[in-house]
Amino acid sequence: MTDVAPTTDPLRRKRILLTVAAVVVSLALDLWTKAWAWEHLRDQPPLAIFDDLFLLEFSFNTGSAFGLFGGQEFARPLFIIVTILTVGYMGMLVRKLPTDRAYGYLAIGLVIGGALGNMHDRIVRSLEIGGELRHGVVDWILVYYMPNKPWPNFNVADIALVIGVGLLLPYLLFHAEPAFEAAAASTSGAEG
């Protein structure tokens, strides 16, 4: 199968640079804010920004989103493997998707940056919990969506992931089709 959109195309190069910029900015902002939270919020009372609505509060998530699989031995290696596969898939999309709309490439960069930010924590961050050293992700943003109803703590990587997936889904649904049709046509043409 031939490459649908060679990376020598000037517009594709621009889209790849946009993707890389989104990765670098989201990853750097995530790592910097997590380091700040680790140093300034850990073992401290929550810092209220808007009373009862928005607080900065350190938490250490040993699971995934919403603490799913927290404390489970298989969680850390599973999430690292899923992250590596996700980043690989996103890299493939950057090479194959049509280049006429930039927002898909921004989305991919945000997904990769967010995924790498949380993977970084799963690899290098550890905290003693219940007498046992555990690896996990630093979460530090707490938002109340209703009185006394907080959303689970999150971080900048989570924000990048949500925005990235929110942009990527409509891009894939409405704008990715031409490149995949071209790939199928070139493959069937080569076989015929």
User: One of 9, 51, 52, 158 is an active-site residue; which one?
Assistant: 158
Known active-site residue 139? yes
CB burial class (10 A; 0-12, 13-18, 19+) of residue 135? middle
Known active-site residue 51? no
Tokens of 132: 């046992």
Tokens 């889209």 appear where?
A: 15
Cβ contacts of 20-24, under 8 Å, gap ≥ 24: 20/109, 21/109, 22/105, 22/106, 22/108, 22/109, 22/110, 22/112, 22/113, 23/109, 23/112, 23/113, 23/116, 24/113
User: One of 3, 30, 43, 139 is an active-site residue; which one?
Assistant: 139
Output phi, psi for 182, to 5 deg: -65, -40
Active-site positions? 139, 158
